[in-house]
Structure 1
Amino acid sequence: MKTFTLPGTDITAPNVVLGLMRIADKSDDQIRALVRAAREAGVDFVDHADIYGPTTHACERRFAEAMRLTPAERDALTIQTKAGIVPEGPYFDHSHEHIVASVEGSLRALGTDYVDLLLLHRPDALVEPEEVARAFDDLESAGKVRAFGVSNHTPRQVDLLRRYVRQPIVVNQLQLSLTHAPIITQGLAANMVGEPQSATLDGGGVLDHARLHDITVQAWSPFQAGFFSGVFLDSPEYAELNAVIDRLAERYGVPPTAVATAWITRHPARMQVVLGTTTPERVTGAAQGSELPLTRPEWYELTRAAGHRVP
């Protein structure tokens, strides 16, 4: 498993993350088997959010109930959670009161004194960055959060926060897969009149902005065809892409999920892939993409086969 020091922190992080948004209805044994498979593959970084599950903090609570971590086991894991979405609306709330209350709820649910990373889950159009800065300061000074980031934010939204908060914004979690890749493919078609791929949909080069400011991009839904529209692996709608994936999987002796993972981890931005599966075998298979040495021709072949324009 390839690891790196998360910029702006002292956290050693793998480039594959175990997402736990779907464990609410899993048994203790199933959750332990999932986490064990991840740990055996070198994935010691788990991703939560306050809204994951049928009720607030449900998945965080199930994780704690199943794992019953000792202090040493807790310290050996990197635990990330998110705040800012109010499901009853839905609406978004980045007020000091909501952020702090959400973290307090996450700590109780997780049975821990601190989380390693806290992300603001989606942008709040009514954000007052001074409120965010005060929340971050209070949580950091109390030892409840080690590092901070965002999710689904544009470069300018990140810059607005960076103007006010003392702590570095170290993560931006964004949707990215072979077939849902505007943060990468827009740049390939830049300055091409009439080419839809050239349109800037992310506020202006979110991936380049992240690289310039030492912000680690975490790729969520790495196997989704679009916005929760089903997976592209084995889908007849992506026959050409799957033919290339299967050929490369056979060449490297790995499952197709590893190739799809490697398309992201191969990128020099040093991104993390957030796996959402609850099947231990799929975690093991996808994790094999962590260090898969795709060549430039192979990476671009996959990009073209996914339907993206490579001029």
Structure 2
Amino acid sequence: MKIMPLAGRGIEASRLVLGCMPFGGSWDPKDPITREDRLQAEKAVDAALSIGINMFDHANIYTRGKAEETFGALLKDRPQLREQMIIQSKCGIRLQDGENPGRFDFSKEHILEAVDDSLGRLGVEYLDILLLHRPDPLMEPDEVAEAFGKLKASGKVRYFGVSNMSVSQIKFLQRSLPDQLAVNQLEMSLGHTHFLDQTIFVNQQAGAQVNFAEGLIEHCQMENIQLQAWGPLAQGRYTGRSTQGEPEKVQKTAALVARMAKEKETTPEAIALGWLMKHPAKIQPIIGSANAGRIVACQDAERQSELMTREEWYTLYVSAIGQPMP
């Protein structure tokens, strides 16, 4: 797998990222991390490394901290892996606790505390990248900038980014930051094509149903902000999961992906990811799986993106949206 400079910065990242949300077992805080949970995570990491993945995506809330803790236990046993890895985590979501509702929190206090907690669970001295997880309507950019500045000065975080943010939200935050945001992580896949629909259905009635910030993809490309895709395999909808009961367009697209994979002697995962990676924005898919076999099945994605023709790409897109081009 090829290595690319992440948005032109000093991080040499793989085109694919392993998302670690499934690590650590259940989301119930009462459930301990089991030996099987640790073994599954180790197999997943080894599978990722075996196909050239060197970037790993976390969040402080994943399995309520157990995902980072599980990953940290692996690094404790194999400390030599840390320098081979790019570790990214997120903060800003606070889960319901007691009478407090689930909420977002971009306060300086929370950001600093969340990073310290993540570093402790992971057992590392720094994060390569920290993302703000979801937009906080109470965000004060100057306060975020103070937190970022302190984290960078202390060496706890190298680069910063966001997740699920629009152009206006990025610009609003960016005006207070001395350094350019490095990443924006968004949902993008054959099952969530709004990032393309926003471009294609300009001045079309079909565009009225598009739920994607206008100009976001173009803005990130122009500002050298790396686009990352969460949910790039659409929860397996096109790569082997049963499509019984799914809309006809999903069933037809799953069959099309399977047929293309067979013809090209590759896997459905490689076709679905290759379609996403064909986009000139050089989107970085985040594989959210702890299944070693499924991770390895993604290894041909970059090659398939390079081989995929414009006609094949549009055939997949038209099938996924279930209607002809305008």
Partner residue, 1:303: 317
Once the two structures are overlaid, the 10-residue window that deviates more, 233-242 or 132-141, is 233-242
Check conservation: 2:91, 2:115, Cα contact below 8 A. yes
Partner of 1:21: 21
* Residue pair 2:198, 2:214 contacting (<8 A) in 1 also: no
Alignment partner of 2:192 out of 180, 195, 198:
180
Change (3 A) 1:308 1:130: farther
| TM-score, scaled relative to structure 2 | 0.89
Return the match for 2:58 from 45, 48, 63. 48
Q: In structure 1, what is the equivalent of residue 46 of structure 2?
A: 36
- The equivalent of 1:79 in structure 2 is 87
Please name the residue that 1:97 is paired with.
109
Q: How does 1:187-226 map to 2 (within 5 A)?
A: 187-192=199-204, 194-195=205-206, 197=207, 199=209, 201-224=211-234
- Which of the two has greater helix per residue? 2
What is the one-letter code of the residue matched to 2:3? T
| TM-fit CA distance, 1:290 | 2.0
- Counterparts in 2 of 1:71 and 1:29: CA distance versus 1, 3 Å: closer
Amino acid of the structure 2 residue aligned with 1:95: S
Give me the TM-score of the superposition, normalised by structure 1. Answer: 0.93
Local SS of the residue matching 1:116: strand
Q: Which residue in 2 is equivalent to 1:233?
A: 239
1:186 and 1:199 in contact (8 A); partners too = no
Post-superposition CA distance 1:212-251 (Å, at most 9, x none): 11111111011227xxxx7343424322112211121012
How many residues get paired? 303
Deviations 1:7-65 (A, max 9, x none): 25200111110001111125322211110110010001000000000x3x221011111
- 2:273, 2:53 → 1: CA distance? 14
**How much has 1:69 moved relative to structure 2?**
5.5
Are the structure 2 counterparts of residues 211 and 45 from structure 1 closer, same or farther at C-alpha, using a change threshold of 3 Å?
same
Q: Which amino acid aligns with 1:68?
A: K
Match among 229, 235, 247 for residue 259 of structure 2 = 247
CA contact (8 A) 1:187 1:198 kept: no
Name the CA shift for 1:41/1:91 in 2 (closer, same or farther; >3 Å). Answer: same
Kindly indicate whether the alpha-carbon contact (under 8 Å) linking 1:9 and 1:147 is maintained by their aligned counterparts in 2.
no
Moved more, 206-215 or 121-130: 206-215
Q: How far apart in 1 are the matches of 2:3 and 2:315?
A: 26
Distance of 1:80 and 1:119 partners within structure 2: 8
| Cα RMSD (Å) | 1.6
Moved more, 42-51 or 230-239: 230-239
Q: Which amino acid aligns with 2:89?
A: T
Could you tell me how far 1:70 is from its partner in structure 2? 4.8
Tell me, yes or no, if the aligned pair for 1:23 and 1:62 is still in contact at 8 Å. Answer: yes
> What does the per-residue CA deviation read over 1:182-235, in whole Å, with 9 as the maximum and x for residues that have no partner?
01122111111x22x35553331211111111111111011227xxxx734342
In the TM superposition, 1:132-151 aligns within 5 A as 132-151=144-163
Match of 2:73 in 1: 65
- CA deviation string 1:106-130 (max 9, x = no partner): 0000000001000000000000000
Letter in 2 for 1:154: S
Q: Which amino acid aligns with 1:257?
A: E
User: Aligned equivalents of 1:19 and 1:173: distance in 2?
Assistant: 12
- Provide the rounded CA distance (Å) in 1 between the counterparts of 2:322 and 2:105: 36
Q: How has the CA–CA distance of structure 1 residues 14 and 308 changed in structure 2, closer, same or farther, with 3 Å as cutoff?
A: farther
Change in 2 beyond 3 A, CA 1:223/1:87: same
Runs of 4+ in 1 over 3 A off after TM superposition: 69-72, 197-200
Which residue is equivalent to 2:136?
124
